[in-house]
Amino acid sequence: MVVEAGITNAFRTILIIIGAIVLLRFIGQLMNAKRNMEEGSRLTKQQREFQEERNQKLKNFGKVNIFSRNSKKTNKLKGNVEDVDFEEVD
């Protein structure tokens, strides 16, 4: 099979190369848009969690909670516990 290099074949090759470049740019823009949408939803979720935590802290601001030794929220300390900030004044 003999392939002749003519103006028609060169023009077709150039069009195929241009089409491939345009297609790759389009796919790149779609991927970029998808990434931006995911980033936006992640930031919105993070901001909502921050607001909820802030509101919870403002709600409990100034309140004192006392838990018993057997409470699940306290650390599981064994043995004698010493208050390191305690200083005896003469």
Nearest partner of 76 among 67, 87, 89, judged by Cα: 67
pTM score of the predicted model? 0.50
Q: What pLDDT, on a 0 to 100 scale, did the predictor assign at position 54? A: 94
- Within the chain, strands assigned E span none
For residue 35, what are the CA distances in angstroms to 18, 45, 71?
26, 15, 44
Q: Looking at the predicted structure, is the pLDDT value of residue 83 above 80?
A: no
3-state secondary structure of 47: helix
The 10s digit of each residue's pLDDT in 17-46 is 999 999 999 999 999 999 999 999 999 999
